[in-house]
Chains A and B, each alone.
Chain A
């Protein structure tokens, strides 16, 4: 990380900020509060006075799941390579004997899916994770092939997060740095992961916390890196890596903020200390199951430049408007224009001359709550910042977000 940080003239270090946090003297503000505060005080004075800016986001994040280690039964059973269900939701077993992975979008084998269109998708992996975190008993049913060392072939039992050895939330792609605004140009209702889209530009759905969102406040990943300690699902987690589809080299505004979907985070944390209100099983009509995840990232104000980034407002963030009846499903790059989050939050935007009502899939009130919880943790000295151990790839990394190249077998 020093490689990245060395480029900027530092006025503070993370170690110094942590000393202040331990003494209960750190000045912490949310990414919403910092906007007016820094304007009033002036950037240089604000950068000196403010130590940490807290961010937050609470939206559906499909690339989420949990690794569980159930402990060994007597006699032993090799769940690895077998078939295992948690509350009838299939889990991934292609790892060691009693390690499992439950993914947020998994659904029961007998779910009718979209056979009765649009499917309800009332219960899936995300809901199992929510119930697990809530301390509810979960039904585990398993069949295995049996080996000399793992003779058992069947297992049916209740499990509880309190009793199993490990439960680790590991989300491969969360906290997208920007995202499409979804509209529907066709004359049919569309059921998408961006919600229900009414025909003929009937609505426009977006999903972001905007000016509160973690990566919008550190658009060039100058402080957020591998190892950054974060608020995750109501507990503590860490940035594990850059997320899948991390795409830093997209078009950016003068304020360095990406104007397209860009950076993402892979995050990890002990599920046992998380809370169900911040990991909510979610159903997207006609699309599938997922989980709504709460994430908050603290940004250490090491210098004026970092503070200036954190002052980003909804008016300064642009998102592309994409037609989900044609451009998105067909993988075409066309966009219908750009719109700022301030315009989106006004409740109506103009798309090709038409007045279109807007709705969000990401909760702004919950994002504020997350930023405030994280702020309180830091103010009370309960949460110290970490020095990243490696940077996230930036615009200079040469990363290109590739489509799948299909080849005949």
Chain B
């Protein structure tokens, strides 16, 4: 079974010299599409990409990344909510196509489920206090 995922990779400053993407292609047969990259030698690096391939190879690729010390984040964590600006009004709830927002029935606070978020960004501008942001 093939998978295609958008992920954020964070490289600690010591390993930005490693040819990580080359290894993902060569050793695990994965294809990639880089969405954003910010890598400076000697500094912490960031890579946002879409990675596709067979599930087993994908999983082995992820294991390789983890072993080298790369921090992997699912891209859904990259629509973020500034908790200090969120007023819990609820304007986002009906905007989200994947129902990532819900109301806590007792307190009526707005809950944000990162795992349901597909990073479409519809909530970002629909949020009146601008508490939602896209982070790449």
Alpha-carbon distance A202/B97, docked complex (angstroms): 11
Q: Would you call B128 and A196 a contact (CB within 8 A)?
A: no
Checking B87, B103, B109 against A292 with a beta-carbon cut-off of 8 angstroms, the contacting residue is: B87
Q: Would you call B90 and A359 a contact (CB within 8 A)?
A: yes
Q: How many residues of B contact A (CB 8 A)?
A: 19
Q: Would you call A122 and B130 a contact (CB within 8 A)?
A: yes
Q: Size class of A's contact patch?
A: 20 to 34
Contacts of B20 in A (CB 8 A): none
Alpha-carbon distance A282/B88, docked complex (angstroms): 13
Checking A203, A280, A357 against B85 with a beta-carbon cut-off of 8 angstroms, the contacting residue is: A280
Tell yes or no: B125 within 8 A of A by CB.
yes
Contacts of B93 in A (CB 8 A): 357, 359
* Given contact pairs A281-B129, A347-B103, A195 touches B88 in the complex (Cβ within 8 A): no
Tell yes or no: A257 within 8 A of B by CB.
no
* Given contact pairs A202-B94, A357-B94, A365 touches B128 in the complex (Cβ within 8 A): no
Contacts of A347 in B (CB 8 A): 103
Tell yes or no: A360 within 8 A of B by CB.
yes
**Which residues A339-380 have CB closer than 8 A to chain B?**
345, 347, 357-366, 368
Contacts of B109 in A (CB 8 A): 365
Contacts of B94 in A (CB 8 A): 198, 202-205, 357-359
Contacts of B95 in A (CB 8 A): 196, 198, 203, 359
A/B pair count, beta carbons within 8 Å: 69
Contacts of A359 in B (CB 8 A): 90-95
Tell yes or no: B116 within 8 A of A by CB.
no
Q: A205, A285, A292: which has the most chain B beta carbons within 10 Å?
A: A285
Checking B89, B92, B125, B126 against A362 with a beta-carbon cut-off of 8 angstroms, the contacting residue is: B89
Tell yes or no: A100 within 8 A of B by CB.
no
Q: Would you call B126 and A195 a contact (CB within 8 A)?
A: yes
Tell yes or no: A227 within 8 A of B by CB.
no
Contacts of A292 in B (CB 8 A): 87, 89, 128-129
Alpha-carbon distance A203/B90, docked complex (angstroms): 12
Tell yes or no: A59 within 8 A of B by CB.
yes
Alpha-carbon distance A195/B88, docked complex (angstroms): 14
Tell yes or no: A284 within 8 A of B by CB.
yes
Alpha-carbon distance A282/B130, docked complex (angstroms): 7
- A-contact bits for B81-113, CB 8 A (1 contact / 0 none): 000010111111111000000010001110000
Q: Would you call B128 and A284 a contact (CB within 8 A)?
A: yes
Q: Would you call A285 and B129 a contact (CB within 8 A)?
A: no
Contacts of A137 in B (CB 8 A): none
Contacts of B129 in A (CB 8 A): 280-283, 292
Other A-B contacts than A284-B128, A365-B107, 8 sampled, CB-CB below 8 A, are: A59-B89, A196-B91, A196-B126, A285-B126, A292-B128, A345-B108, A360-B91, A365-B109
Q: Which residues of A contact B (CB under 8 A)?
A: 58-60, 118, 120, 122, 195-196, 198, 202-205, 280-285, 292, 345, 347, 357-366, 368
Q: Which residues of B contact A (CB under 8 A)?
A: 85, 87-95, 103, 107-109, 125-126, 128-130
